[in-house]
Structure 1
């Protein structure tokens, strides 16, 4: 394995953990805090968060790791063998399915629905409390766990790979 690919695998572990940490913050206390704002304060704040997330480092990291994960899967299928290769590829797959796909299929559509809602409408408050908060947070927790598992399995795979090459 080239030193460049080995370094990419190590940086992927860190990136998966950072993305998962952002999601953990939302599942652990941000969503709960927004729920306690009363009225539609949480809706207003989440609408702003959902607009701002596209302008910052997080989105580049989130999307970039999807591309890197595809590369790791292809590289792994062609060049990695044994338990270490399987763990490395599993880490990439966990990120792609449990983080990236879950975001696209579940969280983004809820964010888009929330973005179009009128803060003064009763339907907005009902959607926020009855649908958005519980479902978005549940799927966000799935993303959190997927990122943590992706980082852990990739870490175990890289360690096993390094041990087998020494």
Structure 2
């Protein structure tokens, strides 16, 4: 039983840290990266974001984003199976916030916007128009996933004391 408690604690800690780390990355984009890109001419902003979107797909960030999601899936199931235990509600809410509000929003909103930007021609009028919409929509959804990841980190952190 002690081993399973240690494993559960380790998963909670990994999840709390992962949620916080991902929230920090998204927070940086919401608070200054996107503002900096907005100040560039559309051609330069598009090219810069296209480059960012390519380099973001790397093993370290993918482990942080999706490794945390995998741990949250396990923790969500665990919280349902141990619903009677103290902290199960926080664990479930934190896990769902991350899975739906962070990963789900990323896959449903931010990735499709990135895919549309990837094929945009930075020199074209269509590219400039897409960029103007992209800045508003992508940043809005980034705010959502930032808040969700931060709230998830808080909820999972509360369960570390159990």
Question: TM-score surpassing 0.5?
Answer: yes
Question: Are residues 1:92 and 2:92 paired?
Answer: no
**How far does residue 36 in structure 1 lie from its aligned partner after superposition?**
0.4
Instruction: Look up the match of 2:153.
Output: 151
SS at match of 1:110: helix
Question: Are residues 1:122 and 2:125 paired?
Answer: yes
Instruction: Look up the match of 2:134.
Output: 132
Q: What runs of 5+ residues in structure 2 fail to find an aligned partner?
A: none
Deviation readout 1:30-74 (Å, 9 max, x if unpaired): 001001012311110100111111124112210111111111111
2:57 to 54, 57, 73: 54
Instruction: Look up the match of 2:44.
Output: 41
1:113 to 101, 111, 116: 116
**How far does residue 12 in structure 1 lie from its aligned partner after superposition?**
1.0
Instruction: Work out whether residues 12 and 159 of structure 2, in 8 Å CA contact, stay in contact via their aligned partners in 1.
Output: no
Alpha-carbon distance in 2 for matches of 1:117, 1:9: 41
SS at match of 1:81: coil
**How far does residue 83 in structure 1 lie from its aligned partner after superposition?**
4.8
| Alignment size in residue pairs | 159
Root mean square deviation of aligned Cα:
1.2
Alpha-carbon distance in 2 for matches of 1:133, 1:85: 38
SS at match of 1:2: helix
Instruction: Work out whether residues 13 and 152 of structure 1, in 8 Å CA contact, stay in contact via their aligned partners in 2.
Output: yes
Instruction: Work out whether residues 88 and 158 of structure 1, in 8 Å CA contact, stay in contact via their aligned partners in 2.
Output: no
**How far does residue 158 in structure 1 lie from its aligned partner after superposition?**
2.4
Alpha-carbon distance in 2 for matches of 1:30, 1:48: 13
Q: What runs of 5+ residues in structure 1 fail to find an aligned partner?
A: 162-166
Deviation readout 1:96-146 (Å, 9 max, x if unpaired): 0100000011000000000011111111111111x1001100000000000
TM-score, with length taken from structure 1? 0.91
